[in-house]
């Protein structure tokens, strides 16, 4: 039977959407350069263009807007996460100067529902947004599919987190409060920080999950990834295990550093755009005074 790692390496996420940081940056620079060439050929005088970094920041901003809209529409966590990754994948090889994110955002939400097998009537989704029709949402669907290379499978770290928490509860039966606290905080990190950074493009779901736990309680990671015994021989199996342990921890540490750049607290106020409800008033909590997101 194939291991979890072997199954992941066969997925479209690993084959098509996993990059070294330098390669991802190169792709974004090529996308930015191509968009400039196409726009320059059509417009006179030449406008002032966005830089690659400015485009990346805008994509991050609209990812936050997508998450907010998904919460307003009361979509499940996996749906909003898949939709967010569709949007981020699209803008690796497409420029925000060519395709406005405000429209692709809505299309990503609807297609995220379809990809995850979550039924939501198109008209009902369109009603959630001002000045939006069903036709406008559908108009960008094929374009989105092309942009994400028809790779509809998105592997998330949530299932890995639930498995890790079950194991921690088994090993730490007397520390339920500690484990529950770490569980709740790690989920918040995965629901926001992992979606607005590039960790999905650089790390496996299990590494992302471990990085979130490392941010919350490093002692729990030590339990899940215990350090091997000191090897007596560099060629021994123990030495190989030690090397693998160090490589895993290095990857998890790198992932943690990226997640820490965007803590979940930024969800309610991002670049001065204030989300109208505190986190306690978002879906899964009672709220009768919500209004349509201003997209």
Q: Where are the domains of the chain?
A: 12-154, 158-266
Least confident residue range of 39-48, 72-81, 254-263, 278-287: 278-287
Report how far residue 33's alpha carbon sits from residue 211's, in angstroms, rounded to the nearest whole number: 34
Res 289 pLDDT > 80: no
Residue 275 has pLDDT above 90, yes or no: no
Which residues face 273 on adjacent strands?
Answer: 270
**Quick one: how far is CA 286 from the chain centroid?**
26
pLDDT number for residue 70: 96
12-154 against 158-266: fold identical: yes
Class of domain 158-266: mainly alpha
Superfamily of domain 12-154: Cyclin-like (1.10.472.10)
pLDDT in tens, 25-70: 999 999 999 999 999 998 888 889 999 999 999 999 999 999 999 9
Mean pLDDT score, 76-89: 98
Contact status, residue 186 vs residue 161, Cβ threshold 8 Å: yes
Q: pLDDT at residue 292 above 90?
A: no
Residues 6+ apart with CB under 8 A from 51: 32
pLDDT at 282 over 50: no
Residue with tokens 């084959």: 15
């Amino acid at each position: 039977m194939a291991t979890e790692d072997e199954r992941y390496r066969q997925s479209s996420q690993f084959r098509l959407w996993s990059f070294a940081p330098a390669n991802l940056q190169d792709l974004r620079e090529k996308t930015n350069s191509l968009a400039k060439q196409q726009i320059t050929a059509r417009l006179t005088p030449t406008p002032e263009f966005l830089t690659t970094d400015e485009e990346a920041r805008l994509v991050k901003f609209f990812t936050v807007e997508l998450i907010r809209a998904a919460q307003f529409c009361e979509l499940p966590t996996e749906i909003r996460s898949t939709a967010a990754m569709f949007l981020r994948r699209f803008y690796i090889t497409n420029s925000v100067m060519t395709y406005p994110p405000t429209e692709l955002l809505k299309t990503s939400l609807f297609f995220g529902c379809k990809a995850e097998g979550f039924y939501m009537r198109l008209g009902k989704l369109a009603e959630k947004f001002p000045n939006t029709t069903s036709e406008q949402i559908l108009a960008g669907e094929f374009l989105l599919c092309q942009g994400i290379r028809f790779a509809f499978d998105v592997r998330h770290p949530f299932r890995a987190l639930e498995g890790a928490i079950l194991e921690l509860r088994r090993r730490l039966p007397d520390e339920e409060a500690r484990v529950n606290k770490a569980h709740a905080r790690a989920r918040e990190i995965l629901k926001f920080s992992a979606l607005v950074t590039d960790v999905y493009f650089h790390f496996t779901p299990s590494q992302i999950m471990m990085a979130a736990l490392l941010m919350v309680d490093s002692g729990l990671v030590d339990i899940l990834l215990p350090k091997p015994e000191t090897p007596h021989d560099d060629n021994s199996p123990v030495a190989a295990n030690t090397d693998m342990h160090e490589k895993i921890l290095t990857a998890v540490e790198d992932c943690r550093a990226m997640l820490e750049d965007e803590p979940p607290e930024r969800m309610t106020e991002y670049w001065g755009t204030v989300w109208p409800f505190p986190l306690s008033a978002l879906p899964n909590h009672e709220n009768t005074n919500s209004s349509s997101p201003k997209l």
